[in-house]
DNA sequence: ACCTGAACACCGTTCAAGT
DNA sequence: ACCTGAACACCGTTCAAGT
């Protein structure tokens, strides 16, 4: 999935000024480069130096477009949410709760695809315009339920909080492993299951009760299980 | 709210050499020191060097007790959950869902007290024993609802995911401010509300619909609003 | 068994200077 | 307006050496 290095091969080219000695960026190219690095090596791999190298320029030029590493992460995450926004633009045909579910699931899938997203999406709506629009979009569907403003506010925040929270949790690599490729997520989950199995059943009746469900479970099913509880509660509230 | 340092004052008293030239730690004192720093300056402030200085020793000695900074954060967070475990030991008198609500709220309050907790609590049950026990405890109450193992697994994970997700979100400082004390959380929220108010009402009908609720809202109420939706859905499932 | 000082290999960020 | 190289002030982690 890595993009080609975009190697600037010196001051080549026959005629024309095009010296190439000086790199030229834009906010879009900076964020696109950041997203590439994030996809390849996670948040830890996104250093300003690595980004500058990928862009073929010096470190300091990044700071022309972005105030620092934190803002870079926020904006890179937010830029990706444009895709979720687009993918959910048409949602709205039927049952409001069904529509909310569809949007939430699209968000979840986007974060599963890019685990680093969970920690930086929807963090600061004053700088993250797409995050704000996504919040707005979910909220508009919740409004269709004719609750009070307060209920509408709480329900929308709960859905967003649940999605981000659950997805961020899943996106977290086990203590230093996955990125370096030493341990796959499957191996890690299997070892966790084994460790649970070794626990004393008298001390951990619940863990043993759900062990077979945990072992080899599908993250998406787990996410949907909780989401549907939340939405069932919401439907109940909407019915009065 | 920080616990007392639990200062181990060396191979104490009687007489003896007491040179003080050599520091002496323990895993407990290392974690206690880490928690102090986290309470004072957040995760960003917890550097190995700052911790070593607080302990009165050299940097390298920290690595005798902990494999690295990540594990330090995980263990420090988990050590604090011992308090939540203790505080919820007696819960269990009445309605299972009411009990789940009580435990979830206690967790939430603990994270509000220590915003750094949200990002590191319940991350890795193989190294975080208290996290595992808390998960177990909530699960035991869910078991009382007589659902299928799969439903029990999903419901417990959903509650934990919602608590951690929501609390972690609230615990996030606005882009570089709060820790340094430049901008208070109140000021930040007020400015966010002002910015929302400035949005075009045609483009953001939902935001305007909930603006008065958002402005000056209480985080705890918001948390409970969503939690009660989730629990209502769970109750419905238990009755079904 | 546990602690230390010093070193290594990085970081984010700034700034005077260039174009 | 935008880019650069070099410097500053940090980091986490390791390791040979001490006790």
pLDDT of residue A10: 28
B179 touches strand D (CB under 7 A): no
For B207, which residue in chain A has the nearest alpha carbon? A136
Domain boundaries, chain A: 27-173
Is the CB of A151 less than 8 angstroms away from the CB of B228?
A: no
Longest Cα separation, chain A: 80
Asked whether strand C has any atom less than 7 Å from the CB of A63, the reply is: yes
Please tell me what DSSP assigns to residue B25. Answer: -
pLDDT for A160-193, tens place per residue?
999 999 988 877 765 555 444 556 777 888 888 9
Mutate which: A120, A210, A223, vs B, most B CBs within 10 A: A210
Burial class (CB in 10 A: 0-12, 13-18, 19+), A60: exposed
Q: What residues of A are in contact with residue B139 (Cβ under 8 Å)?
A: 206-207, 209-210
Nearest residue to C4 via alpha carbon and C1': B58
For residue B62, give the nucleotide whose C1' atom is nearest its CA: C3
CA gap B3, B58 in Å, rounded:
23
Q: Beta carbon of B20 within 7 Å of strand D?
A: no
Q: What is the pLDDT of residues A186-215, one digit of tens each?
A: 788 888 899 999 999 999 999 999 999 999
The single residue listed with the structure tokens 């954060």 is B73
Q: How confident is the model over B8-51, as pLDDT tens digits?
A: 323 322 222 233 367 778 999 999 999 999 999 999 999 999 99
The answer to whether the CB of B157 falls within 8 A of the CB of A222 is yes
Q: Where are the alpha helices (DSSP H) in A93-148?
A: 96-113, 117-120, 129-143
CA-wise closest residue to B231 among B171, B145, B170, B165: B145
pTM of the model: 0.89
CA-closest candidate to residue A165, choices B113, B136, B227: B227
Is A24 within 7 A of strand D by CB distance?
Answer: yes
SS3 of residue B213 by DSSP = helix
CA pair distance B238, B146, nearest whole angstrom: 7
The shares of helix, strand and coil residues in chain B, as percent rounded to the nearest 5, are 65, 0, 35
Mean of pLDDT values over A34-43: 96
pLDDT in tens, A45-96: 999 999 999 999 999 999 999 999 999 999 999 999 999 999 999 998 899 9
Look over chain A and give the mean of its residue pLDDT values, rounded to a whole number. Answer: 87
pLDDT for A18 equals 30
Residue B2 is predicted with a pLDDT of 35
Q: How far is B203 from chain A (nearest CA, A)?
A: 9
Using the beta-carbon criterion (under 8 Å), do B236 and A231 form an inter-chain contact? no
For residues B111 and B160, the answer to whether their CB atoms sit within 8 Å is no
Distance CA A47, CA A13 (A): 31
Q: Summarize pLDDT for B104-117 with one digit per residue, the tens.
A: 999 999 999 999 99
The yes/no answer on whether domain B27-173 falls in CATH 1.10.357.10 is yes
What residues in B contact A231, CB-CB < 8 Å?
A: 233
**Which residue does chain B place closest to A160, by CA atoms?**
B166
pLDDT of residue B183: 65
Rounded to an integer, what distance in angstroms lies between the CA atom of residue A24 and that of residue A58?
Answer: 11
pLDDT of residue B174: 59
How far off is chain B from A219, nearest CA to CA, in Å?
Answer: 10
Q: What is the rounded CA–CA span in Å between residue A82 and residue A79? A: 6
HSE value, Cβ hemisphere, 13 Å, CA-based, for A5: 7
The span from the CA of B176 to the CA of B178, in Å, is: 7
Half-sphere exposure of A179 (CA within 13 A, CB side): 19
Q: In percent, how much of chain A has pLDDT > 70?
A: 86
B168: pLDDT strictly greater than 60: yes
Q: Taking CB atoms and an 8 Å limit, are B126 and A217 in contact across chains?
A: no
Q: Using the CA of B58, give the nucleotide whose C1' is nearest.
A: C4
């Amino acid at each position: 999935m890595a993009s080609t290095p975009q190697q600037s091969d010196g001051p080549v080219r026959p005629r024309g000024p095009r010296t190439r000695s000086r790199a030229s960026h834009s906010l879009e190219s900076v964020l696109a480069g950041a997203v590439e690095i994030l996809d390849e090596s996670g948040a830890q791999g996104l250093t300003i130096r690595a980004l500058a190298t990928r862009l073929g320029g010096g470190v300091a030029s990044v700071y022309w477009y972005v105030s620092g590493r934190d803002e870079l992460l926020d904006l890179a995450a937010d830029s990706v949410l444009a895709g979720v926004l687009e993918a959910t633009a048409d949602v709205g045909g039927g049952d409001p709760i069904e529509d909310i579910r569809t949007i939430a699931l699209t968000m979840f899938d986007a974060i599963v695809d890019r685990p680093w997203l969970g920690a930086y999406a929807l963090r600061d709506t004053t700088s993250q315009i797409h995050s704000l629009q996504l919040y707005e979009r979910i909220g508009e569907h919740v409004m269709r339920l004719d609750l009070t403003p307060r209920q509408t506010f709480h329900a929308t925040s709960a859905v967003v909080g649940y999605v981000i929270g659950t997805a961020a949790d899943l996106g977290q690599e086990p203590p230093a492993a996955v990125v370096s490729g030493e341990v796959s997520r499957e191996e890690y989950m299997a070892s966790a299951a084994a460790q649970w199995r070794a626990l004393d059943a008298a001390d951990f009746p619940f863990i043993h009760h759900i062990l077979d469900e945990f072992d080899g479970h599908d993250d998406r099913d787990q996410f949907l299980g909780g989401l549907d509880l939340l939405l069932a509660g919401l439907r109940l509230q909407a019915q009065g």
